Amino acid sequence: MASLNQHSLLRFLSLIFAIGFMGAAGWSQVSESLVFEIPADARAAALGGRILADLRPDVHGASNNVALLDSSMDRKLAIDFVDYFAGMSLTTVNYALKPGGQFNGQVGARFQSMGTFQEMDAAGNSLGTFKGGDYLFYSGWSYRIDSTWSIGAQGFFGMRSLDREVAGIIGTDITIHAVWPEKNIAFGAGVTSLGRQFGLEGTQPSGALPKDLQVGITKGFRNAPFTLYLRAGHLETWDLAPSGTYDNSINPLTGDIIENQTFKLGDQLMRHVGIGAAINLGPALTLMTGFDYRRRKEMQAAGRLGTNGLALGLDFSVQRFRLRITRNTYHFAGSSTHFGIAFNPSIFRRQ
């Protein structure tokens, strides 16, 4: 049986990586939505991005990797909110269903608001305001193969809208997760946002969603109160840097060529990487910090970096509620705040 499981897992891992590197034949690619890209979970945001591997089950993180669920998450509800920029926000609601044998399921929704915009005519006269956003609903199940390995699949559908511009979205996530408690090591991998957008109204394009091939490794320590997190995202594409990033420039006064000093290989590698550390300060309090190199580089302006890419958060319990709060610097102009809460709704029922 163990041999069969090992062969099945190898085939499943091979499938994940094959899908991740395989292009959508004949499909153009649409622009990436922040509803897929921004980690709504305050803990994930504090630890360098989406958490694919974890030493403990997490109903928040399961919104991106359903294989993180287990029976201890029975009917727990998680709500996350991100106050992003200039009226933009992201809200995620995730509910763990009652387990069924080796199966664990969830349902949820993700809403991204782009804020309010002023509509003007060709003469510059105001025609009122309009709103835009992305709205996603999902449901998925994980299957526990044995005490170590779990696999998961999740389907999603929704829409993108900006006034009269509307597009539909449909797709799936495929993930795998493993935990070795005796070694304090967890491993996760998956292909997320594997789907397609359909232009419905206006000039919204149709095409493949930008998929994300991800892996994660988490390492805890038996005699130390901290845990390390390492993730790598968008492995299906090596060069994530914008066009011209590594080009030389020209001095506008002298006309001399200014050689680009960027270490290209290192920069390309690090744009895939997010790192984090969680320090356990007690049974009900954890301090978290993380760094996202790609965010740091992409959100700079006129060479100004500040503390871009750095995050600091807390994960703590108050009675039967688990709370999370993180401050994440996406841009030197200001930081974004992530809030999260998890609880079992049954605590509100009358006895």
Task: Read off the pLDDT of residues 261-293 as tens digits, 9 standing for 90 and up.
Answer: 889 999 999 999 999 999 999 888 999 999 998
351 burial (CB, 10 Å; 0-12 / 13-18 / 19+) is: exposed
Taking phi over 0 as left and psi of -120 to 50 as alpha, with beta for the rest, 272 belongs to: alpha
Domain count of the fold of the chain: 1
Res 300: pLDDT: 72
3-state secondary structure of 20: helix
C-alpha triplet 94, 48, 268: angle, nearest 5°: 125
C-alpha Rg value of the chain to the nearest Å: 21
Which residues are CB-neighbours of 24 under 8 A, at least 6 positions away? 196, 208
**Cα separation of 35 and 277, whole Å?**
25
Asked whether residue 303 is assigned to any structural domain, the reply reads: yes
Residue 174 pLDDT more than 50?
yes
pLDDT at position 182 over 50: yes
pLDDT at 91 over 80: yes
Q: What is the pLDDT of residue 301?
A: 66
Domain residues for 176? 2-22+41-116+132-235+272-348
**Measuring CA to CA, how many Å separate 255 from each of 258, 259, 308?**
9, 12, 32
In a domain, 312, yes or no: yes
The pLDDT, as a whole number, for residue 4 is: 44
Q: How confident is the model at residue 142 (pLDDT cuts 50, 70, 90)?
A: very high
CA distance readout (Å), 193 to 35, 64, 140, 172, 256: 10, 10, 13, 6, 45
pLDDT (tens digit, 9 = 90+) per residue, 186-230? Answer: 999 999 988 999 988 888 888 899 889 999 999 999 889 999 999
Q: How confident is the model at residue 349 (pLDDT cuts 50, 70, 90)?
A: low
In a domain, 249, yes or no: no
Q: Please give the Cα distance from 46 to 336 (Å, whole number).
A: 11
Please say if the pLDDT value at position 346 is more than 90.
no
1 falls in which pLDDT band (50, 70, 90)?
A: very low
By the 8 A CB rule, do 314 and 285 touch?
A: yes
- Amino acid letter for position 49: G
User: Among all chains, which residue has been given the structure tokens 């809403």?
Assistant: 111
The answer to the question of residue 330 being in a domain is yes
User: Residue 243 pLDDT > 90, yes or no?
Assistant: no
Within a domain: residue 246? no
Counts for the chain of helices (H) and strands (E), in that order: 5, 17
Cα gap 172→240, rounded to integer Å: 23
User: How much is the average pLDDT of 12-39?
Assistant: 68
- Please state the rounded mean pLDDT for residues 323-347: 84
Residue 313 has what pLDDT? Answer: 94
Element containing residue 55 per DSSP (H, E):
none
Q: What percent of the chain has pLDDT over 90?
A: 41
DSSP 304: B
Whether 283 maps to a domain, the answer reads yes
Most distant pair of Cα atoms in the chain: their distance:
81
Asked if the structure places residue 80 within a domain, the reply is yes
Helix (H, G, I), strand (E, B) or coil at 80: strand
| Kind plus residue range of the DSSP H or E element containing 18 | helix 2-21
pLDDT at 170 > cutoff 50: yes
CATH code of 105's domain: 2.40.160.60
Average pLDDT over residues 75-99: 89
Q: Kindly report which listed range (42-51, 204-213, 229-238, 341-350) carries the lowest average pLDDT score.
A: 341-350
The three-state (H, E, C) secondary structure of 135-189, written as one string: EEEEEEEEEECCCCEEEEEEEEEEEEEECCEEEEEEEEEEEEEEEEHHHCEEEEE
Residue 242 in domain: no
Taking residues 122-145, report their average pLDDT. 86
Does the pLDDT of residue 10 top 80, yes or no? no
Range 173-190 average pLDDT: 94
Burial label, 308 (beta-carbon count in 10 A; 0-12, 13-18, 19+): buried
